[in-house]
Amino acid sequence: MAQWLVEVAVVAEPYFVPLLDKWVGDQDGLVAIALSRTLRVPPLTTIRRGKGYVAVRWREYVLIGVYFSPNKHLADFEAFLGELEALIGSIQPRRVLGDFNAKSD
């Protein structure tokens, strides 16, 4: 992040989520949103933390970090998507941007 002057990043499957004010993680430590340690940037404000997702307000944006294991069952994934749908539906204005990777068998 420091080398490329990146201000904020979503970290999937971090080794651990440090208890620092520049990091906000989900309930299970599967995903986090982190601010640069070297740049002066506005703080993160936590909106919601769940199992596999974390939502924060940063500047004029809402950022949502998401991780869902490809080894879980389809029913679990559908329930997870329902939680994300409710979260996104509660945020105004709604502009969604992401890097949505998927695995298929």
Per-residue model confidence as pLDDT tens for the chain (105 residues):
888 999 999 998 988 998 888 999 999 999 999 999 888 999 999 999 999 999 999 988 889 999 998 899 999 999 999 999 999 889 877 666 665 665 555
98 within a domain of the structure (yes/no):
no
Q: What's the domain count of the chain?
A: 1
Neighbours of 29 (CB within 10 A): 13
Per-residue confidence (pLDDT) for residue 105, from 0 to 100: 52
The domain in which residue 53 lies consists of 8-89
Look at residue 97 and tell me if it is in a domain: no
Q: What is the pTM for the complete model shown?
A: 0.86
- Domain assignment present for 99: no
- For residue 101, give both structure tokens: 């990777």
Considering the domain boundaries, does residue 100 fall inside one?
A: no
Exposure of 15 by Cβ count < 10 A (0-12 exposed, 13-18 middle, 19+ buried)? Answer: exposed
Q: Looking at the domain assignment, is residue 33 inside a domain?
A: yes
- CA end-to-end span of the chain: 33
Closest CA to 57 of 72, 42, 77: 42
